Amino acid sequence: MWKLLATTLLNGPRTEPPPPVSTDALLELAASVNRAARARLGRSLSIRQVDAGSCNGCELEIHALGNVFHDLERFGLRFVASPRHADVLLVTGPVTANMREALLRTWNATPEPKWVVASGDCACTGGVFAGSYAVAGRVEDVIPVDLHIPGCPPSPRDLLSALLALLQVASSG
């Protein structure tokens, strides 16, 4: 333990500079974030992740946002355990028929103002699972979506650059 702490102190942080803010995301968000919301949220966002049917690939990369290289929390972005504490729902997967109600209830439990980010190809389009009897559709087919992050799965840098856009829009009131 002490050896590890000493090494960490001597080597300095491994955290990398953030990726550029996604311009695509900025454009998409421009319409959906109003002034009142900006004023209320300030420079921090609480994110509730909801797996609505993903293959867990997206979850792996969302987890990676918390590692020392990406260190999501330095930007004021953090994951919370309850939708009631959340400003953002980060939804992955095609919405399965069996998860549709759970997603709706999670969305209803999230206080206004709130945004929904559809993360990954399945969340954006249904991906390879589109058209299945067991899939209710894209995230957009179930709840309103403010931001789409494509990728299978989106890399941590893609996720970070889109979430930073959200933060920038939310705090530039």
Partner 1 sequence: MTSPLSLLHFLNGLGGEAVERHGPWPRLVVDEAAWKALIGQLAVSRWSLLGLWAEQGVVHMALRDAEGDEFAVASLPCPDGRFPSVSGVRPSAQRLERAIQDLYGMTAVGLADGRPWLDHGRWPLRHPLAASPGEPGQMPPYEFLPVLGEGLHQIPVGPVHAGIIEPGHFRFHANGEAVARLEERLGYVHKGVEKLMEGRSVAEAGRIIARLSGDSTVAYGFAFALAVEAALRHDPPPRAIWLRGLMAELERIANHLGDIGAICNDASFAVMLALCGALRERVLRAADQCFGHRLMMDRVVPGGVTHDLNPEGAALLRSLVSELRPALADVVHLYDEENSLLDRTMGTGIVSGTLVHRFGAGGIVGRASNRDIDARRTPCYAPYGFFDFDVPTSFAGDVNARVWMRMREVASSLDLIEAMVRDMPSGDLMSDLPAAVGEGMPAAAGEGMALVEGFRGEILVWVRLDADGRIARCHPRDPSWFQWPLLEAAIKDNIVADFPLCNKSFNCSYSGHDL
Q: CB-based contacts of 5: which residues, under 8 Å, 6+ apart?
A: none
The answer to whether residues 112 and 144 touch, using CB atoms and an 8 Å cutoff, is no
Tokens of 55: 């293959």
DSSP one-letter string for 59-103: HHHHHHTTSTTT-GGGGTEEE-S-GGG-SEEEEES-EETTTHHHH
139 makes contact with partner 1 (CB under 8 A):
no
59 makes contact with partner 1 (CB under 8 A):
yes
- Residue 35 Cβ, how far from partner 1 at the closest point, in Å? 31
Q: What binding mask, one character per residue, do residues 16-45 give for partner 1 by CB under 8 A, x or -?
A: ------------------------------
As a whole number of angstroms, the distance between CA 137 and CA 166 comes to 24
- Residue 120 Cβ, how far from partner 1 at the closest point, in Å? 10
The answer to whether residues 138 and 103 touch, using CB atoms and an 8 Å cutoff, is no
Among 128, 141, 144, 172, binds partner 1 (CB under 8 A): 128
Q: With CB under 8 A, what is the number of residues at the site for partner 1?
A: 50
Contacts with partner 1, residue ranges (CB under 8 A): 1, 3-4, 14, 49-64, 66-69, 79, 81-83, 93-94, 96-102, 106, 122, 127-129, 131-135, 152-153, 155
